[in-house]
Amino acid sequence: MNLTLKDLYSKFRDPNTIKALKKEIEKEALKLKEPMRVMEICGGHTHTIMKYGIKQILPDNITFIHGPGCPVCVMPKERIDHAIILAKQPDVILATLGDMIRVPGSNSSLAKARAEGANVVPLHSTLDVLKIAKENPDKKVVFFAIGFETTTPMTAALMKRAFSEGIKNIYYHINHVLVPPPMRAIMDGGEAKINAFIGPSHVSVIIGAKAYEFLVKDYNTPVVVAGFEPVDVMESILMLLKQKNEGRCEVEIQYKRATTYEGNTLAQKMIEEFMEVRDTFRWRGLGDIPKSALKLKDEYSEFDAEKVWADILPNEPIDDHKLCICGEILKGLKTPKDCKVFATACTPSNPLGSCMVSDEGACNAYYRYGR
């Protein structure tokens, strides 16, 4: 009998399986020599932990620390301002994925700019940009590309299609950021006192589990790449506990149904065809992190929105709202409930900071499930 999607979801959300894993986790937790402070890098994991009450059913000596795993949340205000400025140009259509529309820049957002008449198009699929460009040959279509390694291949695929079809009115503002560099930056900072990681699932499908070996070699910190379902997270915690108690420190894959050690090498090659690593990139709340983002290769500079409109795009850093603590949350130093404006002045319908906007943001998760 073929399993339906509902059957698969039931399997990975099965209460009896979760209860069994809980018992095993409790046994292993008793053996710990020190508390386990585990950072889940991906915002999708944060939402699973909060939605299914995983945080509440684990022993007290296991603590979750929320990481910078939301690409919308880590975009600095000056990059959002770039998008708003471009959208307001008379000959431009700015297209981007939905979460970006409501993220606050320094004085506005794409949603407000759209309400004021800017031509902003939220996308359901990256390849929709092709249709927009074909239907508007007299316009310059700017694709504001955002995301970790998960969505980067889609931007590369869009470029490949556009060039093969001879479409010349698409420009690319590349904001693709990389997961391993901020993990290194957080460990080097030393403030969060992390001693275990739950590795992101979808990112790891692309880059492979090998990308986290540096955490084992340089910081003696174990990593388990986990799926997004509650059973996945629980099993990953158990795997980390066993590593701790057995004196091991390894990169392991719990999410074996989709992730390999090497990752998707075809996707990696497609990305390398069009993009290269930037020298540095400013992360919201984390500051400048070397080699932590991508840009278009010089050979495609005529389609690089940052270069084509360089004379009107500011590059000076812009601080977050003075009441917002997204930076400390992204570093794993505070939780949303430490914020004075959480769920009062700052809500999903009126976000002061980026962590409240995105479906993957920690503040959004706490607002939905943790109040």
Identity of residue 343: A
Separation between Cα atoms, residue 246 and residue 289, nearest integer Å: 34
Domain definitions of the chain by residue range: 45-321, 326-369
Note whether 329 and 320 are within 8 A (CB).
no
pLDDT on residue 351: 85
Note whether 259 and 150 are within 8 A (CB).
no
First-to-last alpha carbon distance for the chain, in angstroms, is 41
Separation between Cα atoms, residue 53 and residue 32, nearest integer Å: 22
Residues in the chain: 371
Note whether 221 and 196 are within 8 A (CB).
yes
Token output for 141: 């279509």
Half-sphere exposure of 140 (CA within 13 A, CB side): 18
H or E element that contains 204: helix 201-207
Identity of residue 109: S
CATH number of the 45-321 domain:
3.40.50.11740
Per-residue pLDDT of the chain (371 residues; tens, 9 = 90+): 465 656 656 789 999 999 999 999 999 999 999 999 999 999 999 999 999 999 999 999 999 999 998 888 899 999 999 999 999 999 999 999 878 888 888 889 999 999 999 999 999 899 999 999 999 999 999 999 999 999 999 999 999 999 999 999 999 999 999 999 999 999 999 898 999 999 999 999 999 999 999 999 999 999 999 999 999 999 999 999 999 999 999 999 999 999 999 999 999 999 999 999 999 999 988 899 999 999 999 999 999 999 999 999 988 888 877 888 988 998 889 999 999 999 999 998 888 888 998 888 999 999 999 87
pLDDT on residue 311: 96
H or E element that contains 176: strand 170-176
Chain centroid to CA 240: how far? 22
Nearest partner of 202 among 250, 274, 264, judged by Cα: 264
What count of other Cβ atoms lies within 10 Å of the Cβ of residue 94? 28
Note whether 275 and 66 are within 8 A (CB).
no
pLDDT on residue 2: 65
pLDDT on residue 3: 59
What backbone phi and psi angles, to 5 degrees, belong to 35? Answer: -60, 145
Token output for 120: 């902003």
